[in-house]
């Protein structure tokens, strides 16, 4: 969801042209921080954001005095700098060669494929799916393989239901969705870490979470996009369905709840393209139908994203707060405190519209409004804000610490939701 509005990567992007046999590269692409000091400058940057495939805005153009990171193609550099100077917009060069930083972890973070599944590296989709498919036989009567839908390229949106048979006819349901934005690798890695902990942890708190709730967990809500980040373009965000001359829509702007009213783009090549209509993407359409089939069974909906270390709740389309906002704030406070206890990681947040930016058509808003979920949250995981070099490429060494603190936060969140009487 939620986003650092990133990379407008059209199929025809001249300097990083890609095919099935080539990887997109960013050799000598520079990264600048730009800041609009008034409404006029902000409007100019907003116009510039959609004007050229050679300018990649990593932050959405929303507010004055807000630093925005922009990746600039080498051939576009003179015009870009002149435009900023002509309009009095402040800028700072923060990176000479983006590709050099992409190269640092491409080899090391997904290197080993021998041995069992673990959390010291990132995995390709097929490896994770093979692991998920092994769980029902490893935990018979507890794990069920579930399919939340299909993708445009005919991949399954695969997940697991974890349900211990402990005499309860129906337990409260928790739905966890991750990986809806393709390049945010830490999100699915954290989701699989939590699956493993729910099945193997000897910690009493975690064991209680596993045994007293029905869990529906989907690590990869956008499997086509995730595969594309491994084969072709590490910084790809969207789905892979063609739209006009470009590919993909933002699957976290495509849900049918105040679709495309604010915080999304109608430009087919934009990374926040909402799609030609609500649920235009097979991924969101089919997953929403699966979620709808669970209506009445899910009391808590959680979505994992990265990055910036936020805990967020509805709404994204308006600054109007949910009727139970006081309860949301209570849950928010205990969650943020719990996440920070283990490693001192600082999270902030609040309602999406005010805490981060306007963003309509997101999964958490749709689930909160349409399937009877009592509460709905988005967690933007590590690293913190303004992390251009490591933002979407969190080192694999941080997977386990991220998983640990996130599970600490979920345990506190779920306990507070229970205390408030939302689980029935």
The secondary structure element, H or E, covering residue 284 is helix 282-293
Residue 386: band (very low, low, confident or very high) from pLDDT cuts 50, 70, 90? low
Task: Please list the active-site residues.
Answer: 380
Mean local confidence (pLDDT), 214-221: 98
> What b/e sequence results for 13-24 when a residue is b if at least 16 CB atoms lie within 10 Å of its CB, and e otherwise?
bebbebeeeeeb
pTM: 0.89
3-state secondary structure of 162: strand
pLDDT computed for residue 235 by the predictor: 85
Mean local confidence (pLDDT), 272-294: 97
Residue 406: band (very low, low, confident or very high) from pLDDT cuts 50, 70, 90? very high
pLDDT computed for residue 183 by the predictor: 93
**What whole-number distance in Å separates Cα of residue 255 and Cα of residue 258?**
8
More confident residue, 11 or 312: 312
pLDDT computed for residue 169 by the predictor: 72
pLDDT computed for residue 1 by the predictor: 44
Please, what is the average pLDDT of the chain?
A: 90
pLDDT digit string, tens, across residues 124-182: 999 999 999 999 999 999 999 999 999 999 999 999 999 998 767 789 999 999 999 99
Mean local confidence (pLDDT), 370-381: 96
CATH architecture of 125-419: 3-Layer(aba) Sandwich (3.40)
pLDDT computed for residue 390 by the predictor: 65
pLDDT computed for residue 102 by the predictor: 78
CB atoms under 10 Å from CB of 423, counted, come to 18
Residue 115: band (very low, low, confident or very high) from pLDDT cuts 50, 70, 90? low
> On the CB side of 241, how many CA atoms lie within 13 Å of its CA?
22
Token pair belonging to 53: 């495939």
CB 148 within 8 A of CB 287: yes
Query: Which sequence spans correspond to the domains of the chain?
Result: 14-106, 125-419
CB 266 within 8 A of CB 273: yes
Residue 389: band (very low, low, confident or very high) from pLDDT cuts 50, 70, 90? low
Residue 8: band (very low, low, confident or very high) from pLDDT cuts 50, 70, 90? very low
Residue 16: band (very low, low, confident or very high) from pLDDT cuts 50, 70, 90? very low
Mean local confidence (pLDDT), 59-64: 74
For residue 12, count CB atoms less than 10 angstroms from its CB and return exposed for 0-12, middle for 13-18, buried for 19 or more: exposed
Token pair belonging to 224: 């086509």
pLDDT computed for residue 15 by the predictor: 35
**What whole-number distance in Å separates Cα of residue 291 and Cα of residue 176?**
11
* Fold matches, 14-106 and 125-419: no
CATH architecture of 14-106: 2-Layer Sandwich (3.30)
pLDDT at 118 over 60: yes
Mean local confidence (pLDDT), 75-93: 95
């Amino acid at each position: 969801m939620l986003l650092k509005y990133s990379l407008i990567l059209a199929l025809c992007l001249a300097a990083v042209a890609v095919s099935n046999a080539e990887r997109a590269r960013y050799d000598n692409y520079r990264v600048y921080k730009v800041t609009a000091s008034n409404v006029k400058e902000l409007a100019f940057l907003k116009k510039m954001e959609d004007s050229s495939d050679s300018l990649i805005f990593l932050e959405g153009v929303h507010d004055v005095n807000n630093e925005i990171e922009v990746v600039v193609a080498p051939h576009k550099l003179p015009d870009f700098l002149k435009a900023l100077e002509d309009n009095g917009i402040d800028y700072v060069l923060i990176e000479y060669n983006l590709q050099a930083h992409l190269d640092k972890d491409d080899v090391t973070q997904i290197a080993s494929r021998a041995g069992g599944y673990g959390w010291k590296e990132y995995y390709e989709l097929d490896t994770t799916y093979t692991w998920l498919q092994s769980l029902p036989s490893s935990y018979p009567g507890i794990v069920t393989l579930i399919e939340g839908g299909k993708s445009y390229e005919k991949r399954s949106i695969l997940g697991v239901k974890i349900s211990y048979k402990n005499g309860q006819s129906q337990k409260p349901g928790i739905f966890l969705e991750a990986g809806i934005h393709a390049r945010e690798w830490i999100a699915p890695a954290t989701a699989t870490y939590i699956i493993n902990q729910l099945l193997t942890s000897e910690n009493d708190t975690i064991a209680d979470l596993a045994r007293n709730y029905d869990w529906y967990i989907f690590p990869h809500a956008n499997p086509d996009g995730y595969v594309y980040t491994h084969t072709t373009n590490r910084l790809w965000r969207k789905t892979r369905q063609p739209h006009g001359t470009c590919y993909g829509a933002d699957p976290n702007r495509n849900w049918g709840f105040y679709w495309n009213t604010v915080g999304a783009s109608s430009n087919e090549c934009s990374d926040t393209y909402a799609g030609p209509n609500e649920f235009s993407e097979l991924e969101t359409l089919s997953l929403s139908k699966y979620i709808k089939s669970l209506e009445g069974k899910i009391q808590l909906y959680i979505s994992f994203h990265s990055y910036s270390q936020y805990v967020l709740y509805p709404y994204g389309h308006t600054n109007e707060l949910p009727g139970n906002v006081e309860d949301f704030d209570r849950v928010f406070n205990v969650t943020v405190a719990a996440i920070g206890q283990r490693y001192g990681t600082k999270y902030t947040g609040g309602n999406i519209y005010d805490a981060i930016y306007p963003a309509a058509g997101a999964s958490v808003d749709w689930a909160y409004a349409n399937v009877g979920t009592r509460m709905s949250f988005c967690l933007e995981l590590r690293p913190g804000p303004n992390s251009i070099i490591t933002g979407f490429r969190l080192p694999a060494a941080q997977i386990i610490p991220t998983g640990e603190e996130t599970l600490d936060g979920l345990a506190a969140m779920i306990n507070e939701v229970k205390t408030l009487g939302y689980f029935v």
